[in-house]
């Protein structure tokens, strides 16, 4: 059962970036770490549904803002300004925010985010 909590932790922000509804549903499934076969099955269904869900700027921005929360107190003023600028310029077709947050994750060595599927494609 421990694997499901770990997998949920890895997929948390990715799922949030796809759909707040999916994120909230899995959060409820994971509550108390009491995974049943039915919960595992529903979790897997949600992941598959999320993979084909259309991208939405608001959902992506919400997930990115949650990730930024790991850095907002430790980032330099220049990094804070860069985040604000990238956030203002963000579109689904022009995403420099994801790569920036991946760089921040590596720079500050945030283990939880290093495992996040939301940022995986940006790690080189």
Q: Concatenated DSSP letters for 14-69? A: HHHHH-HHHHHHHHHHHGGG---HHHHHHHHHHHHHHHHSPP-HHHHHHHHHHHHT
Note the pLDDT of residue 57.
96
Q: How far apart are CA 114 and CA 92, in angstroms?
A: 22
Note the pLDDT of residue 30.
85
pLDDT (tens digit, 9 = 90+) per residue, 76-111? 999 999 999 999 999 999 999 999 999 999 999 999
Note the pLDDT of residue 2.
60
Enter the tokens of residue 80: 């804070």
pLDDT tens-digit profile, the chain (124 residues): 467 778 888 999 999 999 999 999 999 988 877 788 898 899 999 999 999 999 999 999 999 999 999 999 999 999 999 999 999 999 999 999 999 999 999 999 999 999 999 999 898 7
Note the pLDDT of residue 51.
95
């Amino acid at each position: 059962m421990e694997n499901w909590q770990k997998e949920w932790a890895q997929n948390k922000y990715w799922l949030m970036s796809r759909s707040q509804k999916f994120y909230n549903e899995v959060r409820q499934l994971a509550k108390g770490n009491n995974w049943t076969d039915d919960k595992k099955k529903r979790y897997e269904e949600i992941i598959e549904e999320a993979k084909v869900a259309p991208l939405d700027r608001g959902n992506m921005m919400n997930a990115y803002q949650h990730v930024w929360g790991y850095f907002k107190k430790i980032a330099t003023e220049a990094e804070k300004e860069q985040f604000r600028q990238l956030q203002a310029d963000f579109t689904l077709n022009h995403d420099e925010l994801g790569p920036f947050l991946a760089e921040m994750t590596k720079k500050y060595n945030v283990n939880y985010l290093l495992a996040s599927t939301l940022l995986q494609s940006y790690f080189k």
